[in-house]
Amino acid sequence: MERLRNPYSGLGQYCLQLGQAFAANPAANEQGIVALVPQDWVGKFGNRVQYKVVQPWHKWFGMSVPAKVWHCMHQDSAYLPTNRKTSVVYTIHDLNFLERLDYSETKKQRKLNRMQRKINHAAGLIYISDFVREQVHARLKVPVQLKEEVIYNGGGHPEESALVPQKTVSINKPFLFSIGIHPKKNLHVLMPLLEKFPQYEWVIAGPDSRDYQSVIQEEAKKWGVAERIHFCGPVGESEKWAYYQSCEALLFPSLSEGFGLPVVEAMAMGKPVFLSTKCSLPEIGGSEAYYFPEFDSETLCKVFEQGMHDFKNDPEKRERLKAWAAQFSWKAAASQYLDFYKALSKS
């Protein structure tokens, strides 16, 4: 769980949420789970798990931990056990690097080759969506004897944040919400929508990755909507849930996602979500989400207008959104992971 060094990142949240779910599961103690964490995270998951501090040099020299199963919580992890008899499992979150325009084909192939070497020596693979599994099988060779499973990420639920005071949100007008500032999030295409519906402000949360905020701002200026866009930077759990509680809808037209956690989080609050039809999003959003099949001005505005009308005039929509989100549970994910570890430890 070395990615806990940045708990606000996607992988940091994955480690945090799964760690908390392990801590609540008695089987974690029975199976002798050891969390490999940064120094300041020792003890944060209670006493149902043990702890070992991850140091920077461990990525070069390995870690000596007596374990039957070693779980690399993301495919790029450089932290491995010194004991070669230990069964290594990788969770593969995405192959997003294949979509990067700033990567040459040579670099992409080099990364694929590196991942293939890991798969060749792995005992098991876990995917966070069927979409990711299909991507891996299309681009890489997975040995037939390898144990594989799709285990969906969980999502937050209203009962976990019911006491968050909505007044922590400083926007006094109806606003739309997005989280994640990265070129793949594709947010800059939504300016026509903001222009056509002047009753909405737009709040965008998250750290700025690759100076994408400036791209959004430049596009907003062209459309005359820059004053209605608010960047709030990285947000903690309470603040994040306050934005979900108070927003009118989630805008998430991403081009490349292995899962798409904000989709589940917003739906868990009974909020309408507007997504692209790309990558894993149709799988995660299901039939209750609204989709932009294209990003031209007419399509964006038509989908949004019809979606908001449908949401406001369907008295059961909010509860259906919550019910759909409820199937994505960190508690269920933790149990599946523990079962996966147990099966490998006996093989």
Does 116 share its domain with 47? yes
Does 304 share its domain with 166? yes
Q: Tens of pLDDT along 191-248?
A: 999 999 999 999 999 989 789 999 999 999 999 999 999 999 988 888 888 999 999 9
Does 39 share its domain with 140? yes
Does 257 share its domain with 211? yes
Does 233 share its domain with 272? yes
8 Å CB contact between 307 and 274: yes
Does 164 share its domain with 39? no
Does 140 share its domain with 183? no
Does 322 share its domain with 335? no
* Total of domains in the chain: 2
C-alpha to C-alpha distance for 197 and 1, rounded to whole angstroms: 43
For residue 278, pLDDT over 70 is answered with: yes
8 Å CB contact between 139 and 119: no
Domain with 41 in it? 2-154+329-346
Does 24 share its domain with 114? yes
Q: Tens of pLDDT along 57-113?
A: 999 999 998 899 999 999 999 999 999 899 999 999 999 999 888 899 999 999 999
| Better pLDDT: 254 or 158 | 254
Does 254 share its domain with 234? yes
- In order, the DSSP letters of 215-261 are HHHHHHHHHT-GGGEEEEES--HHHHHHHHHH-SEEEE--S--SS-H
Q: List Cβ neighbours of 18 (8 Å cut-off, separation of 6 or more).
A: 73, 154, 330, 333, 334, 337
